[in-house]
A and B are shown apart, each in its own frame.
Chain A
Amino acid sequence: MSDHLALLASVTADLSRQHVPDGSHDAGPVATAFWDELVELGFVTLTVPESLSGSGGDLRDAAAVLRAAAAGAMPLSEALFLAGPALSAARLDWPGGIVTAAVCDDVEVHLDDTGRASVSGTVPRVPWLREADHLVLVAEGRTGVTVLVLAADSLRAGLETGANLAGEPRDTVRLHQAGAIAAGVVEGPCDTGWFTVLEAVGRATQIAGVGREVLELTARHVTEREQFGRRLVAFQAVQHQLARLAESVALVEMAADAAVLAAHDAADRAPFLGAVAKAESSYLVRDVTAIAHQLHGAIGFTAEHRLGALTKRLWSWREELGNEQHWHGVLVDRLEASTGTLWELVTGVPDRIDPEETP
């Protein structure tokens, strides 16, 4: 990791230790103090250029921060991997406050002659919407992908609150010609699918961050805890389970990292690698959580222990934004849509030179 990314990660990890409570209680209300400190550092707006009131970082910076703050009670993934890129693409200013975001294809966008936009329809399970100041909504409009900024307090009336297994708010909102405080159309060839992929890469990055913490917690437990007169890690059966856990976490990290890099480079490979990232991370949650709980023994099943806070997030996140079954299907769709073999798809190098490929 470059010094720059390592610094972002370590500063954020320090803040995480201060602001993410121990134990496995519900995520609960937004960690406002944590969010504000990250805003102060410019870490929430890393994917927004300075000209649009952001801090002008990039997706790799964002991933380093998000991994280290993955368990924080706030819509940081939505801010960094969806709101930021969407606002930038539509050339809209960062609205400030607590910002959450969603992609929705089932809403209707109206743009009147004066350029004012409104939106109708249902947006399901938006993270922390009940406490947000702004909702950045990415929708398919008549003239292309439209990004709308909505003041969240105007939406409270239509709110149906919900939560995931970890107690992270997931609120559904019904919009009836809700007026946007700002709106813009994304120029160029683009569909909402690109933003769906980015959002999923954000969630995969969170799974990587929490997966790593689960591994560290488990390694600490088996090296400290003694049974039958020996440390647990002295048993070969335990060593091998621990190795399998480390391997699963390494896979998630690599899949997420590769997708972030491709998205950062806006490479043609990004939709493929993004699908791989969410598929792998969702699929591997089962192994990561099962092994970690098995190695912790019963203590990991108690509310006072930290493990549950992490595994409950993983069990939630694997379903959100498409689980592995969805994304595995997307990969096969891509294979069917391509004219080449599986190997050409996976390497990203078709046998024949695409006339549009620049040398």
Chain B
Amino acid sequence: MPIGLQAAPTTSADEPGLRRAVREHLDRERAEGGFEPAVDAWLTGIDPAFSRRLAARGWVGMRIPTSYGGGGRSAVERFVVTEELLAAGAPVAAHWVADRQMAPGILAHGTPEQRQTYLPGIATAELLFGIGMSEPDAGSDLAAVRTRAVAVEDGWRLTGTKVWTSSAHVATNLVVLVRTDVSQDRHGGLSQFVVDLPHPDIHVRPIITIDGGHHVNEVVFDDAVIPAGALLGRRGEGWAQVTRELAAERSGPERILSTLPLLVAWSACEESRGSRGAREDLGRLVSRLSTLRQMSLAIARQIDEGRDPSVEAALVKDLGTQFESEVVDVVRRHARIEPDPTGSGLARLLASAVLHTPVFTLRGGTNEVLRSIVAKQWSTR
């Protein structure tokens, strides 16, 4: 049985209240000039002050236990909040990786000291994380990482280069996957480290993407020495730790909703219902959006129950990221507005959406890799 996803009631008693509270906060932010709705804002919308105001409402680090300064909330509650942030196109990029991935990672694998050092800061959005996995020669093939850590007196010496590290230029910390040991198994010998920034021997350089923006970086570790206590989890267990994080990374609503602000804006225009073709396309997107949300929510529930839905997450990400591109194509065809990055309203949203389209089906595991994961249950039998 490839997937065990079951629909669950979308509404808990307090869901409408939580949704409305987030919407009201965002309305106020918008009214006060806090942000303009943008597509792909979870990658491009870097605004640490916005993140801190959000944290003050208890909406960052919701899954972190209260004993570490977090919200102690469920995965489903976090799902509701992240959905609302994404739908509004809010600038959440600064705290996104820390909230989604590093907090659960540190909680699961960190020492008591690491938890105490990092989790409270994540919950207030004072600590912003970047994640160093990909390398120039290790993209989809993550096991090919060559950045290495060598044990030295009072710590580890890191040497190598990471690429595509989102928000590293504003991050206070990085979590990196590096090779600590030689191993016959190419998944063996990898370890994770938490690195504090800035560091004199760690150099963050911008990688400019085709939209002209600076969202991602190259991070060079130039024999950078870090303390012994920086090892996250167990030496040599990095691969297992990283793959466990991937279910959470891959199944979230940001794999469905990156272009939702464009769809919401277009569907508010009369023309979206003007022609028969537009109506059909709009209906198709509404239908698929509803179903994908149910799937993503079902995975959030499985994570809540302590299960590991990594195959399901791969499946949903393949479908969800295709949906994100489909939105762009539908709006492009029917809106009859030429995309203009210097324009306003739909023309500007469309411009950034078109320019970001290639990356939806690449980041966090290409769709080809995801399909192989889905098919693995049969191909390895």
Contacts and interface: CB of A to CB of B under 8 A. Distances in A.
Given A251-B319, A257-B7, A279 B20 contact: no
Interface string A223-258: 100000000011010011011101100110111011
B318 A247 contact: yes
B379 interface: yes
Contact of B273 (A276, A336, A341): A336
B344 interface: no
A328 B87 contact: no
B2 interface: yes
A345 B263 CA distance: 13
Interface in A336-358: 336, 341-343, 345-349, 351, 353, 357
Nearest to A272: B290
Interface in B285-299: 286-295, 298
Interface string B11-43: 100011001100100000000000000000000
B289 A239 contact: no
Q: Which of A250, A255, A273, A351 has the most CB of B within 10 A?
A: A250
B3 interface: yes
Contact of A351 (B2, B23, B289, B371): B23
B20 A351 contact: yes
B307 interface: no
A207 B57 CA distance: 44
A242 B284 CA distance: 23
A78 interface: no
A1 interface: yes
B291 A280 contact: yes
A349 B20 contact: yes
A325 interface: yes
B378 A250 contact: no
B112 interface: no
Nearest to A253: B5
A251 B264 CA distance: 22
A341 B266 CA distance: 10
B17 to A, nearest CB: 9
B3 A250 contact: yes
B279 interface: yes
B182 interface: no
A290 interface: no
A327 interface: yes
Nearest to B278: A332
Q: Which of A243, A273, A335 has the most CB of B within 10 A?
A: A243
Given A280-B288, A346-B289, A346-B290, A239 B283 contact: no
A328 B280 contact: yes
Contacts of B336: none
B372 A332 contact: no
Contacts of A342: 263-264, 267-268, 286
A76 interface: no
A254 B294 CA distance: 7
Contacts of B20: 349, 351, 353
A90 interface: no
Contacts of B378: 219, 222-223, 233, 239, 242
A330 B375 CA distance: 35
B288 to A, nearest CB: 7
A332 B286 contact: yes
Contacts of B333: none
A254 B7 contact: yes
A328 B284 contact: yes
B236 to A, nearest CB: 30
Contacts of B200: none
Contacts of B318: 243, 247
Contact of B283 (A219, A327, A343): A327
Contacts of B298: 254
Given A223-B381, A251-B319, A349-B15, A240 B371 contact: yes
A250 B286 contact: no
Contacts of A279: 283-284, 287
Interface string A138-160: 00000000000000000000000
A94 interface: no
A332 B379 contact: no
A263 B295 CA distance: 18
Given A331-B286, A331-B287, A332-B283, A357 B3 contact: no
Contacts of A240: 368, 371-372, 375
Contact of A233 (B273, B279, B293, B379): B379
Contacts of A265: 9
Interface string B337-381: 000000000000000000000000000000010111011001101
A250 B315 contact: yes
A239 B372 contact: yes
B9 A332 contact: no
Q: Which of A247, A279, A328 has the most CB of B within 10 A?
A: A247
Contacts of B283: 279, 327-332
A347 B288 contact: no
A342 B4 CA distance: 29
Interface in A41-81: none
Contact of A243 (B279, B287, B372): B372
Interface of B: 2-11, 15-16, 19-20, 23, 83, 87, 260, 263-264, 267-268, 273, 279-280, 282-284, 286-295, 298, 312, 315, 318-319, 368, 370-372, 374-375, 378-379, 381
Given A242-B374, A267-B9, A341-B267, 11 more contacts: A246-B3, A251-B292, A257-B6, A261-B8, A269-B10, A279-B287, A327-B287, A328-B284, A343-B264, A346-B286, A349-B11
